[in-house]
């Protein structure tokens, strides 16, 4: 659960990095409007306590040191909010090649290889089948001259259709009486 908490601002940003003199101390940060909500307004005065520093400079100082401020309180951008200073979102990590293409490529190659293997083995089986009957045909040619007769019926007509159609039974059209 993420809640916005505006925390009591006790430490002072290291303004040396912003190029300001390091004579600033906690006493130069003045708080007001502290509420139960743990939120408050603050201004920073310069060491001589003559005037307050402009908001723009403070905002840029906070922008640069946001990480350090957050870490000091073990908070992050979702739990410590500075009004009117929008946080910069972390850029998404983009790998050079999208991950999904890698996985796609792997599976694609596997499927293609398997398909090729199956097709090739199917072609081989086809060739073997074609060689087989041609050997059978050679032996049949030698027997062609003799017609075997059994019971007075020549054997040939019974073989010709290869057992697909049995002439002893009616054809399909006559199975049903016409309407």
Q: How far is CA 52 from CA 28, 31, 44, 69, 77, in A?
A: 9, 12, 6, 21, 26
Least separation in angstroms between residue 45's CB and another protein is 25
The rounded distance, in Å, linking the Cα atoms of 142 and 12 is 111
Q: How far is the CB of 158 from another protein (least distance, A)?
A: 22
Query: Does residue 38 interact with another protein by CB under 8 A?
Result: yes
- Segment lying near another protein (by CB under 8 A), choices 60-68, 132-140, 147-155, 170-178: 170-178
Least distance from C-beta 61 to another protein, angstroms?
Answer: 19
Residue closer to another protein by CB (options 107, 149) is 107
Q: Is 8 in the site for another protein (CB under 8 A)?
A: no
Interacting residue with another protein among 63, 68, 126, 161 (CB under 8 A): 126
Position 107 contacts another protein (CB under 8 A): yes
Interface positions with another protein (CB under 8 A): 1, 3-5, 35-39, 86, 88-89, 91-92, 99-101, 103-104, 107-108, 111-112, 114-115, 118-119, 122, 126, 175-176, 178-179
């Amino acid at each position: 659960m993420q809640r916005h908490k505006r925390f009591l601002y006790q430490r002072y940003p290291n303004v040396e990095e912003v190029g300001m003199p390091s004579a600033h101390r906690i006493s130069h940060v003045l708080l007001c409007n502290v509420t139960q909500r743990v939120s408050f307004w603050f201004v920073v005065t310069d060491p001589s306590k003559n005037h307050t520093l402009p908001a723009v400079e403070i905002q840029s100082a906070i922008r640069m040191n946001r990480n350090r401020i957050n870490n000091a309180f073990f908070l992050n951008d979702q739990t410590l909010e500075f009004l009117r200073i929008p946080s910069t979102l972390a850029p998404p990590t983009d790998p050079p090649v999208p991950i999904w293409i890698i996985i796609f490529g792997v599976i694609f190659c596997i499927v293609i290889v398997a398909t090729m293997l199956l097709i090739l083995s199917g072609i081989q089986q086809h060739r073997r089948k074609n060689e087989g009957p041609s050997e059978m045909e050679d032996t049949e040619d030698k027997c062609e001259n003799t017609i075997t007769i059994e019971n007075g019926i020549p054997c040939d007509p019974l073989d010709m259709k290869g057992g697909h159609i049995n002439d002893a039974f009616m054809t399909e059209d006559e199975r049903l009486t016409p309407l």
